[in-house]
Chains A and B, each alone.
Chain A
Amino acid sequence: MPNQDPWTTLDAALGALRAHDADVDTVDRIRERCLAQLAAARRRQERRRSRLAAHRRWLEPAFALGLAALYLAAIVPRALALLR
């Protein structure tokens, strides 16, 4: 092909260079550190989630009670006024 990229041969030779890799111990050590960090992050996330769930357990009923109290405070005087 006359119009082929003149660097095709060079790029092909560079692309065919061997991939190196760290030694097995290093590969395993890095993996273990990363997995430990992932597990720690997941534990933190779960703790945060359970704290939020615990807050919801008392926050939601308290909020509902507050709304009910407001409603009653508004409606009871009216009902009493009608009865009188």
Chain B
Amino acid sequence: MVSVEREIELRLVRRVKAGDVAAFEAVYEAYRPRLYSFLVRLSRRGDVAEDLLEETWLRLVDRAATLAEDTCLAAWLFTVARNLFTSWCRHRAVDAQRLSELVPSWPSPRPGETPFEAAARSETERRLETALARVQLRDREVLLLVAVEGLLPHEAAAVLGLSPEALRKRLQRARERLVVEMDVHEPERASPLRAKAG
């Protein structure tokens, strides 16, 4: 049985394939911030993220007519974005680990949040962003796809070219390393996010 959301997505795919401008706009609005967030956290550089974002969307438009009817837009777009980033690293012979660190801007309070809640959330965000920026690229990408962007496991596995089982293991290791990274650099704030299971 096809869910309602999936049905809407399939309809959008059909319209994008037909060159429908409104459908493209809808996809662009829905996925642009997610793709940019993914790219900026992956590359840790705003200028690179913008270039790759542009290339990703141009590729969608270029290949719209040849999309399969059952294309999963999130998986397709994130796969293209990730492949473009990989090519960029290879082309520039960039060691992804040596890219300059992303300095996340200070988050603004959300509506209805007390200053204390906002400060606590900001602190957690800062620590998570810093730890994410420090873990290896292969750990970072799986965390970004599954935990941050909320892709379903089979979608993330497709983006990374892994089997579901390999994805599960990589995600497990990535979470462990992220928590270690958070604790190593700020041991005085032993992570409340640490896994409780052995």
A7 to B57, CA, bound (A): 33
Chain B residues 13 to 48 lying within 8 A of chain A, measured CB to CB, are 19, 21, 24-25, 28, 32-34, 36-37, 40-41
Interface of B (DSSP majority class): helix
Would A34 and B57 count as touching, CB distance under 8 A? yes
Chain B residues 132 to 155 lying within 8 A of chain A, measured CB to CB, are 132, 143, 146-148, 150
Residues of A with C-beta under 8 A to B57 = 30, 33-34
> Interface size class for chain A?
20 to 34
Residues of B with C-beta under 8 A to A38 = 19, 21, 24, 61, 64
Report which of B32, B61, B104 forms a contact with A41, defined as CB distance below 8 A: B61
Closest-by-CB residue of A relative to B125 is A17
If A10-B195, A11-B147 touch, does A31 touch B19 (CB 8 Å cutoff)?
A: no
Chain B residues 61 to 120 lying within 8 A of chain A, measured CB to CB, are 61-62, 64-65, 104, 107
Would A21 and B33 count as touching, CB distance under 8 A? yes
Would B58 and A34 count as touching, CB distance under 8 A? yes
If A10-B193, A14-B128 touch, does A45 touch B19 (CB 8 Å cutoff)?
A: yes
Closest-by-CB residue of B relative to A21 is B33
> Interface size class for chain B?
35 or more
Q: Which residues of A contact B (CB under 8 A)?
A: 6-7, 9-11, 13-22, 26-27, 29-31, 33-35, 37-38, 41-42, 45
Beyond A13-B193, A26-B53, A35-B24, list 13 extra A-B contacts (CB 8 Å): A9-B192, A10-B178, A10-B179, A17-B125, A19-B37, A20-B36, A30-B28, A30-B58, A33-B57, A34-B60, A38-B19, A38-B24, A41-B64
Can you list 26 contacts pairing A with B, beta carbon distance less than 8 Å? A6-B195, A6-B196, A7-B175, A13-B124, A14-B132, A14-B147, A15-B147, A16-B121, A16-B125, A17-B125, A17-B148, A19-B33, A19-B36, A20-B37, A21-B33, A22-B50, A22-B53, A26-B50, A30-B32, A30-B57, A30-B58, A33-B54, A34-B61, A35-B21, A35-B24, A38-B19
